[in-house]
Amino acid sequence: MRWASKCAKTAETVRSAAIAPERTGCQVAAPDLPEFTPGKVVTGEHQGGQYTIQALIGRGANGNVYLVRSAAGHPAALKAGPEKPELKAEVEVLAELKKRELENGDHRSFLLDADRFRTEDRSIPFYVMKFVRGMPIDAYIRKYGYRQIGAAGLGLLDRLSGLHRAGFIFGDLKPCHVLVEESGAVELVDYGGASAIGASVKQYSGWYDRKYWNAGSRTADPGYDLFAFAVLCLHVFDERGLRRLDGALLPQTRSAEDLVQLAGRIPALQVFRPWLERALHGRFTGSGEAHAYWKALCRLHPAKARRGSSRMLTAAFCGSLLLLGAVVYAALSL
């Protein structure tokens, strides 16, 4: 699913786990849902959950996303739309992912509820997710520095691995579908393109599609997501170079090796070049191996503290010195 409104320039924008920040390639017409207005209380027809609409925060082909407040007063994100197989498929993917995560003792799943809202003339399906404060991965890297790709990439691979273990691939992976919270935690957003492993990829975007580069099929397997993540790295660090490369090649001459060579010309990615080469050529046996290799490279080349974190630590240190000085002064004055 691609979203209709334009991308906010600020990287601090509050996002939902269901919303892709609105960047290039994330635009479509949205369904009309006049029943969902600020102040409206949406009550689930079967589960009975109640959610008060606060604001519309995203529009997509499969549904609109609203900031809501639960009956307990907690913020959440509610996605509602017309009766469509795509919306139903999203819920099924998230429900299966939640089930697998709970079985593994992982309680990070952001699917909170799935139900229907009955109006006078129709029944509208919806699902509810936890609310996530985050920014697109490219904005996060720009804010905190290129070295943060290590930790952010590890978090993304962790999320992808969990999805693959549940039997799905993400499919439409690109910067606007990856949010990074201020804490550094990573969330995949917009599961409209998720496809069952072994099926055809339901949704894809040019650069991130391995078939676009004549590097493989559109059959859903973990390698499809790993290829897309490698291209995401190139996009984040050298969008202009990627655009030039694409424009200089004919469709039949595009290849994974062209992308590998581009990676070799990006200084910030040299630490991860061996990983990128394997992902682009489809040489990982699965996302577990890819995650382990990325983690090993991170350990060999640890990142410095985030720029924002450094400022906070400096402020805390200065505050401690001032407090210590005050204590010493008070002691000497006795």
The binding site for ATP comprises 79
Q: How far is CA 324 from the centre of its chain?
A: 43
Reduce the DSSP state of residue 57 to 3 states and report it.
Answer: strand
In sequence order, the 6+-apart residues with CB closer than 8 A to the CB of 92 are none
Write down how long the chain is: 334
| Token pair 């492993």: residue | 197
Can you say which residues are annotated as belonging to the binding site? 79
Residue 138 burial (10 A CB sphere; 0-12, 13-18, 19+): buried
What the block records as the tokens of 140 is 């996060």
- CA nearest to 160, candidates 129, 127, 191: 191
CA dihedral (35, 1, 30, 10) in degrees, to 10, reads 100
Under 8 Å between Cβ of 225 and 279:
no
Distances (CA, A) of 220 to 170, 315, 316: 9, 48, 48
Under 8 Å between Cβ of 220 and 196:
yes
Count of CA atoms in the C-beta half-sphere (13 A) of 331: 6
Residue 211 burial (10 A CB sphere; 0-12, 13-18, 19+): middle
